[in-house]
Amino acid sequence: MSFILEISGELACFTRPELKVERVSYPVITPSAARNILMAILWKPAIRWRILRIEILKPIQWVHFRRNEVGVKMSDRSQGLYIEDNRQQRASMLLRDVAYRIHADFEMTDEAGEGDNRTKFVEMFKRRASKGQYFHQPYLGCREFPCHFRLLEKAEDGLPREDITQDFGFMLYDMDYSQSDPRDSNRAEPMFYQCKAVNGVIIVPPVDSEEVRR
């Protein structure tokens, strides 16, 4: 059994990690961004989400603009931050008018308690997703780009798929926290995979597959 979630938004930015200063998006959503959307709806230590495949539902469209960002972080001991002294203008290359259909499932982890079982979390996710509930606002790569979602019984209930066949090259798969503290994102190792769409469908390999490079 897998879950089918249709997502959409006006803007999206699935940032390429090799570009540090300017924000440039991948052409399509990354598996890690898709997983974060599911975790925004239901996250528990007892389960681990896995993306199975992604369907592209709208043409790939780009938008370019400049925006102001703050170039530093305010420390815990700071009395404040004067934005005008730290304002930076940066160019962004974003996606616009995006829509995807995520096929996903979860597995139980070692942190599952005595009362935890698959049926419990299946019903919990279905209930929350069908009512539009979430723990925090799902977003499309960056928090300023909110994500709208709806749970589908079957893919045919949603938008038609775009007939896109394209090799997008190596794309960020997810972050590997196995060798570091999960709370310390700065020490996580990135994982990549060869992202290809065939007739609008991207098959996402398992994390332990040889297709996933570290």
Please name every residue paired with 99 in a beta bridge, in sequence order, or none if there are none.
8
**Is the pTM above the cut of 0.95?**
no
pLDDT at 142: 92
pLDDT at 110: 93
Q: How far apart are CA 120 and CA 198, in angstroms?
A: 35
Q: How far apart are CA 4 and CA 25, in angstroms?
A: 24
pLDDT at 1: 72
Name the nearest CA neighbour of 2 among 152, 148, 174, 192.
Answer: 152
User: Residues near 181 by Cβ (< 8 Å), separated by ≥ 6?
Assistant: 187
pLDDT at 30: 98
pLDDT digits (tens, 9 = 90+) for 107-129: 999 999 999 999 999 999 999 99
Q: Which H/E stretch holds residue 34? A: helix 31-41
pLDDT at 90: 74
69 φ/ψ angles, rounded to the nearest 5 degrees: -130, 160
pLDDT digits (tens, 9 = 90+) for 57-89: 999 999 998 776 655 565 666 566 555 555 666
Q: How far apart are CA 120 and CA 103, in angstroms?
A: 19
Mean pLDDT per 10-residue section of the chain, whose length is 214 residues: 94 88 90 97 96 98 80 60 60 94 96 93 97 97 95 96 97 83 67 98 96 93
pLDDT at 23: 84
Residue whose tokens read 């398992």: 206
Token pair of 138, please? 């799902």
pLDDT at 65: 82
